[in-house]
Structure 1
Amino acid sequence: MKGLKKKLLAFFKKFSPFLFIVLIISGFFWRVFLFREVPIPGDFITGVYYPWLDYKWGYAVGVPVKNPIESDVVSLIFPDQSIAVKTLLSGVAPLWNSYKLNGVPLMANFQSAAFSPSNVVFFFLDSVKGWTVQIILQHILAAVFTFVLLRYWKVSIRGSLLGGTVYSLSGFNMIFSQWNGHVLSAAFVPLIILFTEKSLNKVKVIDGVLLSISLALQILSGYPLITFYTVPVILLLWIFRFRFEKSYLFKSFCLGVFLLLGLGIAAVQLLPSFELWGLSQRGSEPLTLEWAFLPFRKIITFIAPDFFGNHTTYNYWGPQEYTSNTGYVGIMAMFLSLLSLKNIKFNNQIKFLFVLMALTLILAFRTPVSFALWNYNILGMKAESAHRIMVLFTLCTSLLAGFGLDILLTKRLRRKDMFISLTPIFCVLVFFLFYAISLRTTHTVGLDGFKIGIRNLVIPSIMFLFLVAVLYLINVNKKLKTFGITLIFIAIIFELFKFGWKFNTFSKIDLVYPTTPVIDFLTNQKKPFRVLCDKVIPTNFCNQYGIETPEGQDTIQPIKNSQFLVAINGGDIESSEVRRYGVIDNDTSSLLDLVNTKYILTLKTDSKNRPSKTGEIPERFNNPRFKNVYEDKSVAVIENKASLPRAFMVYNWDVEKSNLKILKSLMQKDFQFDQKIILEKEITLEKSQVQGQKQLYKVEYLEYNPQVSKIRVNTSSFGLLFVSDSYYPGWSAQVDGKGADIYRADFLFRAIPVNKGEHEVDLMYDPESFNSGKKITIFSVFMASTLLSVSIFGKKAMASYTKTKI
């Protein structure tokens, strides 16, 4: 019994820091455990859009919406990741998303996070509960990995716990908590620093392999921008550790090998993603300068995040939006990080962190360096939000805060130390106090900005005064040091929890994609068909219910899909900008017939054009082409009777290589989509052999899945089977089990030659980029496993041999 007690005590002592981290993070997510709420902004679904707005969902006047700028979570991140996980759990690689934009790659889009390491939870939990565990787990990992790095750097347990806690709950990680992938990717940064540091100190295979695995898992986590930022961190660390020695050259070589091995392990994700990037809209969708960098006014948000207001209180008046407040760490952590300057002369880690922090700020704000990178679009900088590099600023601040706490624990602070650490914070608070006062006379924000700014400086100012008081107590009486440091830690928890709780939404589980009669009607219709939803339901929402749409939103998508939507809206693909938000405004476009748009959702409106349960269907649908087939309260489902089937035969075609001419032809009112298609290259058979004849055909789907379809075709003569799903590299066809060519038809879609008679046409998505990446990944995993096995078992064998010899 005594032995068991000792073992339990030893276990608790060893793992108590990790249990403490779990306790702190669980405390932040207390609503999950106490009220069974989930960290998904379900209120945005049911409280903003129809058909859900027609129902109250247990509330007297409808569902209140807490944070309107978390819309990406429910309109982009959750649907894509859910589709990827469901496909993966069915035993199929989640390669293709047929639910939006007429079909686009799924896994190749990083943010689908198809192979995220945390997806393992879905083998045991449903989509919503699994998502909840993922959100919590990423914060725990961020804290744990930061703790482990600080311990390696000889920071005390208390200092390491503080650093881990601050990083896990700081600006970037709190704001993007529910984007599920951003924080997990960020969590691996301190772990990669750890194994890079170890590899540069002493080459050990186990450290190198763990570096490779960490890098690969970061890439697979779903937010590649973090990996992009991790590369200069590794380079800077290599420079800081550089020595003119042969041994360092060998260490550098080994480091490079293990980094390449990490890229190899992630090749199954990287190769398809690089292929998609090369064919995407990203190059023609640059961010404006206003959104590329942080305005210098945002410095105040490092310690007072709500100075410019908050979208959750509907009083935000500042530049950009609240999601750029990623630099927040709070008064206490900022002070501790500045306090670490006391040891900067003697500690290389502190030097490294301050240099990295300075570089981060240079790139995040508009400086000559950052502007040059943006202006010349170096490494695609024009398509990215440079200010998201502030994740490194919060990491540096958190790590430095750990060092700062150790100084507070072990050394007596001089007035000079406190002056250096407190003065920058005090100056920022005072400067923005006067800035807020000056707003009273402006015409842009005026009195509201003044009131909001002053009010939201109160708590940071109180925290600053509280910090000064605690420091005074600690200096006056050494016996109060432990008590004072405990107060500082509690104050840090208060600052970070308050910040995170105010921004993040926790919803009742029944508000997360609930069904309605309109949705039930659509899901019960025979597939395949598409529904134009955006006038009622935002893009991508329908995808969660298995409803396919011609519109859609994606951070990265094939540019041709975007250009086709421009054509549907009646725009010019040469002059119109293509965007990630694929919204169709022209819901009566004839091009919708071509893409199998069988149903169109619309709102009934009253005489003042307001949604109404007793209202009328818009005048534009008073046309023989349309039929009102279903209504529920304010929403009507319009059948497009001119909609063509997903697949049909054509016996007449033209060949045109100009994309612009193809779209102009398709946009002509007299173009008969069911009679003729436009190809981009010639086929072997002459048109004269089939034209002028009367053709009969029957086409039916035997199987329809996103990545595999079987179609039975019976045709009276040779022709082309047209399928209104996106043409993209990796799609292949077989006719009666024999390979057949797929031609790009009508700008975006597919056509397969089919001979006279009855045939079975199989369409499969099996891209070479995925297969090549898979082979590289398998080889890399084999190499990593071999190196690890040789390292572990080789040492044991050597030790055994040495003992025998002795």
Structure 2
Amino acid sequence: MTTWASRCARFGRRHGFFLLITIVLVVLSYPAWIHTGVPGTDDLSNLNIPQRQLLKWFYDNGRWPLWNPFNFGGQPLLAAGQSGPLYLPNIVFVLFPIVFATKLSYVLHEILLAVGMYALSWHVSRHRVAAVLGAVCFADSGFLVGHQIHTQMFDAMSWLPLIFLLFLRLHERFTRRRFVFLGLAFAMEVFAGHPQITFYTALFVVLYAALMWLWSPSFQALKRWFFTLTAFALGGLLASAQLIPTLQLVSYSDRADVSKSFLLLGSLPWSGLLQLLLPFAAGGGYTSQPFTVNHFETLYYIPNFWEFLSYAGIVFLIAAIATACWKFIKDRTVRTLAVIGVFTLLLALGSNTVFSHILTDVPVFNLFRVPARYVGLTDFSLAILAAIGFAQLLQASSQRTLRVLITSTVSVLIVVLLGVRWIGPYVKMTPAGFWVPLTLLVLLLLIIVVSFAVPDRAKSWLGYGLAVIAVVDLVSQTYSMSQFVEWEQGHFRQPTPLQKFISTHLSGPYPFSRVASLGTNSLMLDRSAINRIPSINGYDSLVADWYVRDVNLTWRDRTFLSEPRQFINALGVEYIVTGADAGGLTSSSQGVAKWMHWLPRLKNTSSLRIVMGAHHTVIDAYAPLFSVTLQSGSHYYTEQISGWPAPSYVIPIPKTWPKTAATKVTITSQSWQGTFNVKTVQLFTSHGTVSYNVNRTFGARVWKKVADFNGVTVWKNPNPLYAAWVTSPNDPLHPDYGTAKLKAWTPNQQSWTVNAGHSGEFVLSQTYDPNWEATVDGKKTPVTRISSMLTAVHVSRGKHVITLNYKPRSFQAGLGISLITLLFSVILLLDGSSVRNMVSFKNKSTPRRN
């Protein structure tokens, strides 16, 4: 303990002041998290803060956050992972009010980021000022500025510097404590909840190890790198409680088989590289013109600017490029970082390079979208290279070759800026956004040229001068740009009037009566989870493939509106909320909603035909039109018709259909808007054709406007809704076989009393997931998917008690593995001796030396 205390005291005396400067600079660069406002732009309101509010509710009620009943009609919460349900720092959301907890979480991760990057930069440069510069360069980089709105991404990326530092130290000398600490740090990044960043971290260290071995291959070196990388296996095992459920969900999610165009959506355009030089070309900062999304899109052809920010300081960029050129041949570490930086930048360009095949065809790479996010690894490499370069510039006897390379780099960048100023869309950039960076480059060129004329012992002023310029430039840019998270203020403390109205008026068993949100409003995406309002909406997360095919109220409204009204009823949608940008539903109908007729026995009848009239007002070629339902005793059969009305439709009669009893045929409008005409229903029999006149104009069933909130309209479903029912497997959306009543409910368990008039399917108005288990009267019974995405359990005729439990075996197995690995890690941690019998790892040289 004395040794440990003395080490800490010595570290504090040596690095405390510089660490304090680093932390202050980084925290002040993100003023939104120390202001009095409530940042709520985009994903902060749409996903991240609502899910953490929901997480608090689970833990306050003493329940595992396994199943989220409030979004997507039901979704695996822990497996999706984006809420960080097992991430230890998220305890702040349990202990404190949501706004304070959010700000505290960001500030703590900024400090983690600053300290980790300072320590890493010190490790590779052995210069405290250079360590400060490297930390500021990465912590204030465009990637982290933009991804403030992705809480789990910001959290996960904050661990990258510490993980890489522990990786380097473990490679230098393999001890059990270092091995465990690296595994724990990587596990924390996994628990933070963003698999893409976890993959980026693993990719970076694997590339680093592979390239370092490639420059000097030997069996002994291979063994050393192999044992170093095994610490990541330990981290994966520690995080199994999160990792295994996530991998299981991936297997049946929409990410298991996505199109190449989807994976490449969000590729950084070549023009986007100019952001490395021109942070305020689209306004903001020192330009005196406000930054606008439209201006950014005009310049770079991309609207979601936060995904494409990459500025890491023009001085830092120059230092990194010059260092890479200077040390590329002689220094393996610099060479490796330069190659990784260029490679990840090419990956960020995505569809604009031949490397797009890696992103679409190579396993694991093809699980993640928005290639522009790879620029985070480019910024990380750039920051480390800049720290190494500044360590040389800050010495009195700085290398003449390095200064020559800096001069050449600045000259080239000046030519580049002058060359693009009057090309294409760049003529529309803000004048100050161009002239200020150009003036800065000219100033740098003059400073460096003058430095050649001063004595060697005075040359350190060059490095310190450049350091001050670099910090002022980047911190001021980050300070200005990072405040975009406050463009929209979050409504997290109190529910909005719309949320209050829906919470009050939802009827039926909770949480099976739901709302659907179309357009922009306070219930869109995951926002309903803040107040635990059941919804079929949900935001960008791992979600079952069948939800995406049939509802998909994440990216667009079209999929939802292409479903028949009968299916929407089965999902328990009691209210639909339409924003001003989503249009309205039908508030008045010019036709009937349903037509019924009894047909004689259908002996020798093969099919029936619905003959349509010529006139209709249907405008959507993909929207539902009508359904035809046949009923005879306990037999049901329904056919759904969609699209523009055709001249006629032929409905086949099932071969098992009763031939000796009458059949009721029902035509029901499933249309959302528009009218259509049905002339006749014809039966095809062995004796000819029998026609029945219909001559009806059908219109959409009227939804009633019940409230309006500043252009956001609330519509009430006129149809009766059921949380669960018993029905025929041939027609699962008709609740005609019996009744079901909710007996008890918690998010992970529910119990129902059922009275079935016939043997059939108990259908639950909830999105199916394979991890639900059911018992009928205490006997285990399979849970199946019915009507594409609903949950079903087979029941026999009579009264039953059905109990459903959400028990993901993947979580149970993962939790067991995590606990066993944690125990193993504690045992290793208590013994810090070197593992000499594995491999000799002692290497006192710093990583940047050969």
Q: Please, what TM-score do these two structures have when normalized by structure 2? A: 0.74
Cα distance in 2 for residues equivalent to 1:142 and 1:332:
21
**1:230-249 maps to which residues of 2 (within 5 A)?**
230-242=201-213, 248=221
Deviation, structure 1 residue 505? 2.2
| Aligned counterparts of 2:9 and 2:218: Cα–Cα separation in 1 | 47
**1:390 and 2:375 equivalent?**
yes
CA contact (8 A) 1:532 1:587 kept: no
2:164 aligned partner, one-letter code: I
CA offsets 1:445-489 (integer angstroms, 9 cap, x no match) = 4xxx41316442122123223433544666647668459716633
Whether 2:391 is the aligned partner of 1:406: answer yes
What does the per-residue CA deviation read over 1:123-173, in whole Å, with 9 as the maximum and x for residues that have no partner?
431222211122222222122111112222242111111101111110111
Change (3 A) 1:406 1:596: same
> What is the aligned residue count?
699
The alpha carbon displacement at 1:174 in A equals 1.0
2:496 aligns with 516
Contact 1:712–1:760 under 8 Å retained in 2: yes
Match of 1:365 in 2: 349
Partner of 2:822: 781
Q: Quick one: which of 755, 760, 780 aligns to 2:801?
A: 760
Match of residue 527 from structure 2: 541
2:280 aligned partner, one-letter code:
D
Q: Secondary structure at the match of 2:726?
A: strand
Query: 2:565 and 2:799 mapped to 1: Cα distance?
Result: 34
Residue 52 (structure 1) aligns with: none
**Given that residues 156 and 192 in structure 2 are in contact (C-alpha distance below 8 angstroms), is that contact kept between their aligned partners in structure 1?**
yes
Q: Which runs of 5+ in 2 are unaligned?
A: 1-7, 285-290, 590-671, 674-698, 837-850
1:658 paired residue number: none
1:317-336 paired onto structure 2 within 5 Å = 317=298, 318-321=300-303, 322-336=305-319
Q: Secondary structure at the match of 1:152?
A: helix
User: What does residue 295 of structure 1 align with?
Assistant: 269
Q: Using the alignment, how far apart are the partners of 2:586 and 2:241 within structure 1?
A: 52
Structure number with higher strand proportion: 2
Deviations 1:761-785 (A, max 9, x none): 3221111111111111111111111
Query: In structure 2, how many angstroms separate the alpha carbons of the residues matched to 1:452 and 1:98?
Result: 47
Sort the Cα spacing of 1:343 and 1:549 in 2 relative to 1 into closer, same or farther, 3 A: same
The yes-or-no answer on 1:337 pairing with 2:320 is yes
| AA of the residue aligned to 1:433 | L
Distance in 1 between residues matched to 2:565 and 2:548, nearest whole Å: 16
Distance across 2 between alignment mates of 1:23 and 1:75? 30
Structure 1 228/635 Cα, relative in aligned 2: closer, same or farther at 3 Å?
Answer: closer
Paired residue secondary structure (1:649): strand
Partner of 1:356: 340
Q: Is contact 2:80–2:542 with CA below 8 Å preserved after alignment? A: yes
| More moved, 460-469 vs 618-627 | 618-627
> Quick check: 2:176–2:835 contact (8 Å CA) kept in 1?
no
Find the counterpart in structure 1 of residue 634 from structure 2.
Answer: none
Give the C-alpha shift of residue 405 in structure 1.
1.5
Counting only pairs closer than 5 Å after superposition, residues 126-141 of structure 1 correspond to structure 2 as: 126-141=97-112
Q: Which moved more, 1:169-178 or 1:118-127?
A: 118-127
What is the CA-CA distance between 1:429 and the residue it aligns to? 3.9
1:456 equivalent to 2:398? Answer no
SS of 1:384 mapped into structure 2: coil
- Within 5 Å, which residues of 2 pair with 1:723-762? 723-754=764-795, 758-762=799-803
Offset, 1:330: 1.5
Is the 8 Å Cα contact of residues 199 and 251 (structure 1) preserved in structure 2? no
Matched letter for residue 522 of structure 1: I
Report which of the two has the higher share of helix: 1
In the alignment, which residue of structure 1 is the partner of 2:29? Answer: 28
Whether the aligned pair in 2 keeps the contact of 1:338 and 1:404 (CA below 8 Å) is no
What's 2:843 paired with? none
The equivalences for 1:628-639 within 5 A come to 628-632=705-709, 634-639=711-716
Deviates more, 1:141-150 or 1:551-560: 551-560
TM-score after normalising by structure 1 = 0.78
Partner of 2:678: none
Say which SS state the counterpart of residue 392 (structure 1) adopts. Answer: helix
How far did residue 121 of structure 1 move? 1.8
Aligned CA distance change for structure 1 residues 397 and 581 (closer, same or farther; 3 Å) = farther
In structure 2, relative to structure 1, the CA distance for the partners of 1:248 and 1:106 (3 Å cut) is same
Structure 1 SS opposite 2:742 = strand
- Is the CA contact (8 Å cut-off) linking 1:79 and 1:544 kept in structure 2? yes
Compared CA separation, residues 102 and 324, structure 1 to 2 (3 A): closer
Where does structure 1 lack aligned partners over 5 or more consecutive residues? Answer: 1-6, 42-70, 440-444, 570-577, 655-664, 667-671, 676-694, 796-806
CA contact 1:562–1:582 (8 Å) conserved in 2: no
**Higher alpha-carbon Rg:** 2
SS of residue paired to 1:791: coil
Per-residue deviation at 1:266? 1.2
Task: Please state how far the C-alpha of 1:290 moved relative to its aligned partner.
Answer: 6.4
The answer on whether the counterparts of 1:195 and 1:210 sit within 8 Å (CA) in structure 2 is: yes
The whole-number CA distance in structure 2 between the counterparts of 1:408 and 1:273 is 46
Contact 2:40 2:486 in 1 (8 A): yes
Q: Secondary structure at the match of 1:92?
A: coil
What corresponds to 1:46 in structure 2? none
Do structure 1's residue 147 and structure 2's residue 208 form an aligned pair?
no
Q: Is 2:169–2:178's contact at 8 Å kept on the other side of the alignment?
A: yes
Q: Is the 8 A contact 1:172 1:326 kept in 2?
A: yes
Distance 1:77 1:384 in 2: 18
Verify: 1:505 aligned to 2:485, yes or no: yes
SS in 2 for 1:83: helix
Tell me if structure 1 keeps the 8 A contact 2:744–2:751. yes
Query: In structure 1, the residue corresponding to 2:279 is in which secondary structure?
Result: coil
Q: CA deviation at 1:759?
A: 4.2
173, 196, 208: which is aligned to 2:179? 208
1:713 CA drift (Å): 3.1
- In the aligned structure 2, how far is the partner of 1:289 from the partner of 1:435? 30
Using a 3 Å threshold, how does the CA distance of structure 1 residues 10 and 269 change in structure 2: closer, same or farther? Answer: closer
Closer, same or farther: CA 267–501 of 1 in aligned 2, 3 Å? same
Per-residue deviation at 1:706?
2.7
- Structure 2 match to 1:19: 20
For residues 490 and 425 of structure 1, what CA distance do their matches in structure 2 show? 14
C-alpha deviation, 1:279, in angstroms: 0.6
State the 1:352 CA deviation.
2.5
Q: State yes or no: 1:599 paired with 2:599.
A: no
Q: Does the alignment pair 1:488 with 2:467?
A: yes
Q: Specify the code of the residue in structure 1 equivalent to 2:486.
A: F
- How far 1:204 moved relative to its partner? 0.7
Look up the match of 1:553. Answer: 539
Which of 29, 49, 70 is 1:99 aligned to?
Answer: 70
Q: Post-superposition shift, 1:787?
A: 1.2
| 1:553 aligned counterpart, secondary structure | coil
In structure 2, C-alpha distance between the alignment counterparts of 1:13 and 1:413, rounded to whole Å: 23
Which whole-Å deviations, capped at 9, do the CAs of 1:737-757 have from their partners, x for residues lacking one? 443332322221122244566
Give the stretch that moved more between structures: 107-116 or 508-517.
Answer: 508-517
Deviations 1:247-300 (A, max 9, x none): 545534532432211111111111111111111112224435863533222221
Percent identity over the alignment?
20
Relative to 1, partners in 2 of residues 1:496 and 1:278: Cα closer, same or farther, differing over 3 Å? same
Residue of 732, 735, 740 corresponding to 1:674: 735
CA contact (8 A) 1:471 1:484 kept: no
Letter in 2 for 1:320: I
Go from structure 1 to structure 2 and tell me whether the alpha carbon gap of 1:252 and 1:271 turns closer, same or farther (over 3 Å shift).
same
**1:252, 1:10 → 2: CA distance?**
28
Matches within 5 A, 1:687-702: 697=739, 699-702=740-743
Spell out, residue by residue over 1:543-576, the C-alpha distance to the aligned partner (whole angstroms, 9 max, x if none): 322122223333321111111227xx9xxxxxxx
1:437 to 422, 430, 435: 422
Measure how far apart 1:732 and its partner are.
0.9
Give 1:260's match in structure 2, choosing from 233, 238, 252: 233
Q: Does 1:118 align with 2:73?
A: no
Give the distance between the partners of 1:492 and 1:401, measured in 2 at CA.
Answer: 12
